[in-house]
Structure 1
């Protein structure tokens, strides 16, 4: 697996990471390609490593796309006030997160992970919705080698540490129905269209692209992506809004609402504030202050 270029710029590597300048000041972050067998199911592998002075911590908020993460490392559990570290080496399953998530880093640690495409994890699970917002030991979800975490940790940090995770995911696919794997890829392909094509704004449009009824599409998304297609569209709009203002500039909010297919600026502002916890203007100002 070859590493993508290391990114310290605000591009697709950091999509959904709120106030990424703060993150890059304290962590090393990289993203890596996936093996062909996982194409369309896993978006990428990623790694993060940090070492903070005693008494200092870093709270990182993420408005994540609807995806599952399989991670191995010494990371804290989600939340603003986790129990004090250091944290044990562990292999974890992280379901689709429906709210802004926070990780509070302190001391030294690392994490490597596989992030699914939106819908891709339906290849491994029949009901992704059932595990939304969960943070579980990987062995509680799948029959994987309990020594996986140690195997990962024994590899050099970076792309090499993602290899055992990828191999475990490929092995788990062997017992899954081919039809289910292809259905997950279908949902992932439609979700990619939502992300790159902002003219797709309704379930009806998406159903026509997929050649299915709206009702079938709803079932496909609930089981494979864990959320509805409408929810996916809305989440990507909000991520777009956050990405547009996080460089600290003040855009034309009315035009931004039009570009993101909101009815008006007020609807964008309400949705943004309710999800992220601050208004678009306050978020832009927070980025300017960094």
Structure 2
């Protein structure tokens, strides 16, 4: 599936506010994967909880109150929305995070301030005016500047992006040894690569994509059994998939499916 249409990661899409993605210009595509834009306008007193199983990467997020950098997460995350608001996010690649001067291992499960008043004001002006297209151009101009100042992509960052592509596109990979063979690396070298450039272990990265895929399949095909999903995604058995669901999402695969029912 194309990046902009990738439905993985959103656990309860029917509960989403207005949400869409935009392409990153070719000149910055080595630093960021896509832009994502969310808007909401909720009745007084209403709170909408948005549950997400994030991609194993960091996000730069502009909101009405400024800019934050969210590191990779080790579990699902949730955010409560109320009133009226918006968010303009950038899903970063390994080289993009490095260009911003951050090491992923230092911001795992953390959200830190990213002070850039000019960027914050420029994006906010467009978003408050209801024009996410112009906001995207402001963000793209900013990234073009980052790209000009950034060091050439390191071999490690390129390998980390390749690792992500292999895990995404090969559902049968469920073990670190298998991934290391596909990468032509030792398991130890793969561990170092993932920690330095992504911030998560290879096994966490693999499991994140498998859980995203499992949740997507359970949402899209009500007749598909959990056992069949486990088999198709390379799990040894249904219990291993169930354990991943509970440890990462905090609920079983069956409970997840029940919550999807109207």
TM-score (norm 2): 0.89
Specify which of 51, 58, 61 is matched with residue 51 of structure 2.
Answer: 61
Specify which of 116, 124, 134 is matched with residue 92 of structure 2.
Answer: 116
CA RMSD, Structure 1 to Structure 2 (Å)? 2.3
User: Equivalents in 1 of 2:168, 2:240: separation in Å?
Assistant: 20
The structural deviation recorded for 1:41 is 3.2
User: Equivalents in 2 of 1:31, 1:67: separation in Å?
Assistant: 16
TM-score (norm 1): 0.81
Specify which of 127, 134, 139 is matched with residue 103 of structure 2.
Answer: 127
The structural deviation recorded for 1:279 is 1.3
Change in CA separation of 1:177 and 1:49 when aligned onto 2, cut-off 3 Å: same
Query: Does structure 1 retain, via aligned residues, the 8 Å contact 2:58–2:97?
Result: no
The structural deviation recorded for 1:152 is 1.1
The structural deviation recorded for 1:55 is 0.7
Q: What are structure 1's unaligned runs of at least 5 residues?
A: 75-88, 140-144
What pairs with 1:42-191 in structure 2 (closer than 5 Å)?
A: 42-74=32-64, 89-117=65-93, 119-124=94-99, 125=101, 127-139=103-115, 145-155=116-126, 157-180=131-154, 182-191=155-164
SS of 1:272 mapped into structure 2: helix
Q: Which structure dedicates a bigger proportion of its chain to helix?
A: 2
Runs of 4+ in structure 1 deviating by more than 4 angstroms, as ranges, are none
Change in CA separation of 1:203 and 1:271 when aligned onto 2, cut-off 3 Å: closer
Query: Does structure 2 retain, via aligned residues, the 8 Å contact 1:61–1:102?
Result: yes
Counterpart of 1:266 in structure 2 is 239
Counterpart of 1:203 in structure 2 is 176
SS of 2:48 mapped into structure 1: strand
User: Equivalents in 1 of 2:97, 2:61: separation in Å?
Assistant: 18
User: Equivalents in 1 of 2:142, 2:71: separation in Å?
Assistant: 17
The structural deviation recorded for 1:196 is 1.4
Query: Does structure 1 retain, via aligned residues, the 8 Å contact 2:226–2:254?
Result: no
User: Equivalents in 1 of 2:35, 2:92: separation in Å?
Assistant: 9
Q: What are structure 2's unaligned runs of at least 5 residues?
A: none
